[in-house]
Amino acid sequence: MPDHHAIGPGFDSHGGRPWVKARLASGPLGVYMIPVGGMFQRMKCAMGGSGSTYVYGYSDAQFKENMKVDECKQFITKTLSLAMTRDGGSGGVIRLGVITGKGDIEREIISGDAIPKCYEG
């Protein structure tokens, strides 16, 4: 049994059939997760890793469908900064990637000194 999981964004050109590998194409955009148990799932919002346990409540309260790109980036940056503040195994930088309608990825790196500080107690 694997001891890790995978999360990946993309377009599903096969209409959400979980037994077909998702690939970039012209289909529904989604977040695809394969948890430790191995089941392929399409989700609206997914998270994992040691820091995720600190931010499930925040994510549930703040996630909205159909956010604009800037709103998504702010939501992700805040969520990750909260996790990084509390989890000793998380940290460093935040790497964001926006998949465009053409399938290109616009990348952004937020360095450690520019990450919002949420708690310093």
What total of structural domains would you count in the chain? 2
Q: Identify the bridge partners of residue 11 per DSSP, sorted by sequence position.
A: 29
* Measured distance CA(29)–CA(46) in Å, rounded: 14
Q: What is the pTM of this model?
A: 0.72
Please say if the pLDDT value at position 2 is more than 60. no
Residues 96 and 78 in one domain: yes
Residue-range definition of the domain harbouring residue 90 = 49-116
Residue 105: its H or E element: strand 105-110
Residues 15 and 63 in one domain: no
- Determine, yes or no, domain membership for 121: no
pLDDT tens across 30-59, in order? 777 777 777 777 777 888 788 888 888 999
Reduced to 3 states (helix: H, G, I; strand: E, B; else coil), residue 54 is: helix
* Measured distance CA(44)–CA(81) in Å, rounded: 21
pLDDT tens across 85-99, in order? 888 877 788 999 888
Residues 10 and 25 in one domain: yes
